[in-house]
Amino acid sequence: MQDIKNPRTYRVKSFGCQMNVYDGERMAELLSAQGIAPAADGQDADLVVLNTCHIRERAAEKVYSDIGRLKRDDGTTPLIAVAGCVAQAEGEEIMTRAPSVKMVVGPQAYHRLPEMIRAASAGERVTDTDMPAQTKFDVLPRRRRSGPTAFLTVQEGCDKFCTYCVVPYTRGAEFSRPYAALVDEAQRLVEAGAREITLLGQNVNAWAGENAAGQRVGLERLIRELACIPVLARIRYTTSHPNDMTQGLIDAHGEIDALMPFLHLPVQAGSDRVLKAMNRSHTVESYLAILERVRAVRPDIALSGDFIVGFPGETEADFQQTLQLVDAVGYAQCFSFTYSPRPGTPAATMGDQVPGDVMADRLQRLQAAINRNQHAFNAASVGKVCDVLVERRGKLAGQWLGKSPWLQSVHFLGDAQIGDLVRVEIVSAGPNSLAGVPIAAQPSRAQSSAAA
Ligand code: 5AD
Ligand code: SF4
């Protein structure tokens, strides 16, 4: 059976972080601009892009099983492109091990997909894992469609080299997109329907650029500018590194209404000894001091973090300090992972690797502590009045789902549309969501701006 050439339909499957989701959306826009249509639900696509993640697990192994599953009953295979961080890290190996893969494209090269598809349709197998200086962002098509919440990548790459992490190798050096291009993309997203924009970067708070007056500015200045876009009601940013948390950005949390009271600031561990081995270049104390300064300007801020348990050499006493830190902060939510040795990173060859069952047990205890914190944070929201940005319909008739300013899921019954900001009183709280009751007769529709 002939395999597919000159694809007419596509599907992009993204795994991993929000930046991959963003890249997946941009790839989809690029393919649509080439006249290739998104495959309908349940329909086989001629072209499948697997937009992979390499941060944890045996992600590469998962890619091979995903590739195997793409083979159809009639023996044909779609045109398969492997994109994302596994492509960057293990491109050559994928080409050797998986003959059905015709394209391997790294996260900084996917703007070249149209040429690659032409070459693959002509029978070639092509790999592009360059990290070109001329950025993909200059050539990608302009944004035309958006839901009420949108992602906008403002910064990529990482120079921090935490000893467990592949990102500096797969995404390359820290790079900030230019100020004017970001303001332009944000405006287009808003015209296309976005009411909330989340600024993305592996080190988003390391973003730096030049404003229209030629001044060197940081992320808070960009946020201030975006907050002036009419109709854009909410701005968020993620992920931040403690060392790039400037006073200017902290102050912005007290001054810009559109900047939501939520901060995702990974700490990874509660033991200074482990933090040092991780090359985090901050301590528990310096991390807590940052949170104190943020709370001073924005007392209701919801805090979020990332944790790794079972880093090489982590003892039970180290781990106890992580549990203490979680309770000391009172997180609104957290992500927590067992340590996963990544090929090529310094930690992968460190002695004292922690056994899997010990890691699993620590993860369970950590997640119990995080859930307790999250439930307490949610319970403290009962009685508050806040706006909910409506994202979709709920399961019940007349039910709507959306997010509070503190990024909690809220459901309510009432009159609304997707994209509305509906003022509700929070009446009850569960571990993962809140129930609200609308208190204003008139939801604020897209024409009324809630920007600062
Ligand atoms: N093992 C486990 N977790 C990891 N992370 C990054 N690298 C690893 C790894 N090798 C986690 C960190 C990071 C988040 C995005 O993923 O907590 O903040
Ligand atoms: Fe990875 Fe550390 Fe960079 Fe975050 S700061 S992307 S954990 S190396």
The residue contributing the CA closest to ligand 1 atom 9 is 340
Q: Which of 378, 271, 288 is nearest to 332 (CA)?
A: 378
Ligand 2 mutation target, pool 167, 308, 340, most atoms within 8 A of CB: 167
Cβ pair 240, 285 in contact under 8 A = no
Distance, CA of 249 to CA of 219 (rounded, Å): 7
Same fold: 9-128 with 385-451: no
Provide mean pLDDT across the span 343-365: 97
The identity of residue 54, as a single letter, is H
Count of CA atoms in the C-beta half-sphere (13 A) of 115? 8
The identity of residue 385, as a single letter, is V
Cβ pair 176, 200 in contact under 8 A = no
What is the pairing mode between strands 421-429 and 385-393?
antiparallel
Tokens of 78: 């779609």
Which H or E element spans position 212? Answer: none
- Helix, strand, coil % (nearest 5) of the chain? 35, 25, 40
Q: What percent of the chain has pLDDT above 90?
A: 86
Task: Check residue 390 and give its pLDDT.
Answer: 98
Q: Does domain 136-379 have CATH number 3.40.50.1980?
A: no
In the predicted structure, residue 447 carries a pLDDT above the cut 60:
no
The CATH class, in words, for 9-128 is: alpha beta
In the predicted structure, residue 57 carries a pLDDT above the cut 80:
no
Ligand 1 mutation target, pool 325, 337, 349, most atoms within 8 A of CB: 337
Distance, CA of 152 to CA of 184 (rounded, Å): 11
Q: What is the pLDDT of residues 274-333, one digit of tens each?
A: 999 999 999 999 999 999 999 999 999 999 999 999 999 999 999 999 999 999 999 999
Ligand 2 mutation target, pool 239, 241, 243, most atoms within 8 A of CB: 241
For ligand 1, the distance from its centroid to the CA atom of residue 310, given in whole angstroms, is 11
Cβ pair 14, 129 in contact under 8 A = no
In the predicted structure, residue 422 carries a pLDDT above the cut 60:
yes
In the predicted structure, residue 13 carries a pLDDT above the cut 70:
yes
For ligand 1, the distance from its centroid to the CA atom of residue 298, given in whole angstroms, is 28
Provide CB contacts within 8 A for 135, sequence distance 6+.
108, 175, 177
Tell me which fold the domain 385-451 belongs to. OB fold (Dihydrolipoamide Acetyltransferase, E2P) (2.40.50)
Print the SS3 string covering 7-55. Answer: CCEEEEEECCCHHHHHHHHHHHHHHHHCCCEECCCCCCCCEEEEEECCC
Q: What is the pLDDT of residues 152-211, one digit of tens each?
A: 999 999 999 999 999 999 989 999 999 999 999 999 999 999 999 999 999 999 999 999
pLDDT band at 3 (very low <50, low <70, confident <90, very high): low
**Domain boundaries along the sequence of the chain:** 9-128, 136-379, 385-451
Decide whether any atom of ligand 1 lies within 6 Å of the 252 Cβ. no
Nearest-atom number in ligand 2 for the CA of 202 is 6
In the predicted structure, residue 446 carries a pLDDT above the cut 80:
no
Can you give the pTM of this predicted structure?
0.93
Task: Check residue 73 and give its pLDDT.
Answer: 83
**Residue 383 CB burial class (10 angstroms; 0-12, 13-18, ≥19):** exposed
pLDDT band at 1 (very low <50, low <70, confident <90, very high): very low
